Amino acid sequence: MRILSSLILICLSVPGWADVISPKGKVIDCYCTDKAGSRVELGEMICLQVDGRMFMAQCQMSQNVPMWREISPGCLSSDAGAVGGQSVNPAIHAGQSAS
């Protein structure tokens, strides 16, 4: 239960890590970038491919530097192909009864 409470507390505090205030009071945005140079916010996860290896990584801070941390091997997929013989694109055909 203690571990779960700690994990919840850490997850709730992640948005507060997104900005750093310099000694002069200026707010500095902290974020990661993907291979195309697009901005990825702290806490977001993406699939990275490095040296032929693919893995899920999360944008995190480490010693005041945004960095990618490997979360799990392999990447999640959203390919929702046919499952159990179910049609991906069902259509109602004339002459068939719905029984």
pLDDT score of 11: 45
10: pLDDT strictly greater than 50: no
32-55 confidence digits (pLDDT tens): 999 899 999 999 999 999 999 999
Taking the model in full, what pTM does it have? 0.54
Q: What angle do CA 13, 15, 21 make, to 5 degrees?
A: 100
pLDDT in tens, 53-81: 999 999 999 998 999 999 999 987 766 55
Q: Which residues of 33-44 are buried (b: 16+ CB within 10 A; e: fewer)?
A: eeeeeeebebee
The pLDDT value given to residue 48? 92
Q: Is the pLDDT assigned to residue 91 strictly greater than 70?
A: no
Q: List Cα–Cα distances, 88 to 7, 84, 91, 94, 95, in angstroms.
A: 38, 11, 10, 19, 21
User: Is the Cα torsion angle 39, 41, 47, 50 positive or negative in sign?
Assistant: positive
Helix (H, G, I), strand (E, B) or coil at 82: coil
